[in-house]
Amino acid sequence: MIADKRLKALALCVSDDSVRPAIQKVHIKGNKAEATNGEILAEAQFNEFPDDAFPTCPGADPGDNSIYVSADNIKKAFSGCPKRSAVIPIIKNIRIAQDIFKHGDIDVDVVHLTGTDLETPITVEETQEPATVYPKTAQVWPQDTPENAKYFSLTLPNLQKLIALMKSVDTEPKRINFRVDAEESAIVFYIPGDASAYGTDGIHGLVMPCRFDEDEKAVMKSHKPMQHTTDNPAKTP
């Protein structure tokens, strides 16, 4: 599989819970990757390039096998990509490949993550744990979209403003609570504060209604969990 920088972003969503080792890593199957910390679930599909378009590197396409890669190894592999804009678009990505071989009576399963600037490739190896089983994340997705569902959109600058508001309070852990009113077109938020420090109970506010892109709304309305598939539109002539 060939993966772009979205994979590095997914790695930020893994868990640090040592009791749940499966979700400490990004789960990849087919052309889909997913990550969760038990509170946030994020997933993405990678279809832009066929696997055999990447410069030569170890391993074979994992196909429909489930593989698990750590955030650290993803970061290391991307460090091999060009630091500036690449003339060849594919080398802005990394390749994820797999080797399964016998070592005595034991099956050894190794995943290779490779990034290259066409001069100095960086390949990171990660041995797979055979007992690892990822949670059935498809079961947590809402099955149907209500007809009266409300849709909201946040730009990156506005999301950064909300984060700045969260950082301004001393309460730990920092968090923001949302309330969506069925009949209103705004999201009310509340950031708990330290009343002993400020004499207040935090920050209150709302995300006001904004125009929602109809194409994006249609995607959200029909969205279901991404399917694990080895089909890659990029392979189609």
Q: How far is CA 23 from CA 28, 29, 73, 188, 198, in A?
A: 12, 14, 15, 31, 38
**Is a pLDDT exceeding 60 seen at residue 135?**
yes
Confidence of residue 138 (pLDDT cuts 50, 70, 90): confident
pTM, 2 dp: 0.83
CATH T-level assignment (fold) for domain 2-140: DNA Polymerase III; Chain A, domain 2 (3.10.150)
Residues 72-85, mean pLDDT to the nearest whole number: 93
Q: Return phi, psi of residue 223, to 5°.
A: -70, 135
The percentage of the chain sitting over the pLDDT mark of 70, rounded to a whole number, equals: 86
**Is a pLDDT exceeding 70 seen at residue 223?**
no
Give me the pLDDT at residue 57, please: 83
Of the spans 55-69, 141-155, 218-232, which averages the highest pLDDT? 55-69
- So where are the chain's domains? 2-140, 156-211
Q: Which residue has the tokens 């330290």?
A: 194
Instruction: For the chain, give the mean pLDDT.
Output: 86
Q: Which residues of 148-179 are buried (b: 16+ CB within 10 A; e: fewer)?
A: eeeeeeeeeeeeeebeebbeebebeeeebeee
**Is a pLDDT exceeding 50 seen at residue 173?**
yes
> Is-contact 61 97, C-beta < 8 A?
yes
Residues 112-116, mean pLDDT to the nearest whole number: 96
Confidence of residue 199 (pLDDT cuts 50, 70, 90): low
Give the pLDDT confidence of 146-160 residue by residue, as tens digits. Answer: 777 777 788 899 999
CB neighbourhood size of 201 (10 A): 13
Confidence of residue 228 (pLDDT cuts 50, 70, 90): low
Of the spans 98-102, 183-187, 223-227, which averages the highest pLDDT? 98-102
**Is a pLDDT exceeding 70 seen at residue 105?**
yes
**Maximum distance among all Cα pairs of the chain, rounded to whole angstroms:** 68
The percentage of the chain sitting over the pLDDT mark of 90, rounded to a whole number, equals: 54
Residues 113-140, mean pLDDT to the nearest whole number: 92
Q: What six digits make up the tokens of 192?
A: 């708990």
Question: Which residues are paired to 235 by β-bridges?
Answer: none
Confidence of residue 233 (pLDDT cuts 50, 70, 90): very low
Q: What six digits make up the tokens of 118?
A: 């066409």
Residues 6+ apart with CB under 8 A from 5: 78, 92, 93
**Is a pLDDT exceeding 80 seen at residue 229?**
no
Give me the pLDDT at residue 103, please: 84
Residues 57-67, mean pLDDT to the nearest whole number: 90
Q: How far is CA 125 from CA 31, 114, 165, 215, in A?
A: 19, 9, 40, 40
Give the pLDDT confidence of 39-52 residue by residue, as tens digits. Answer: 999 999 999 999 88
Write the DSSP string, 175-219: --EEEE-TT-SSEEEEEE--HHHHSS-EEEEEE---PPPHHHHHH
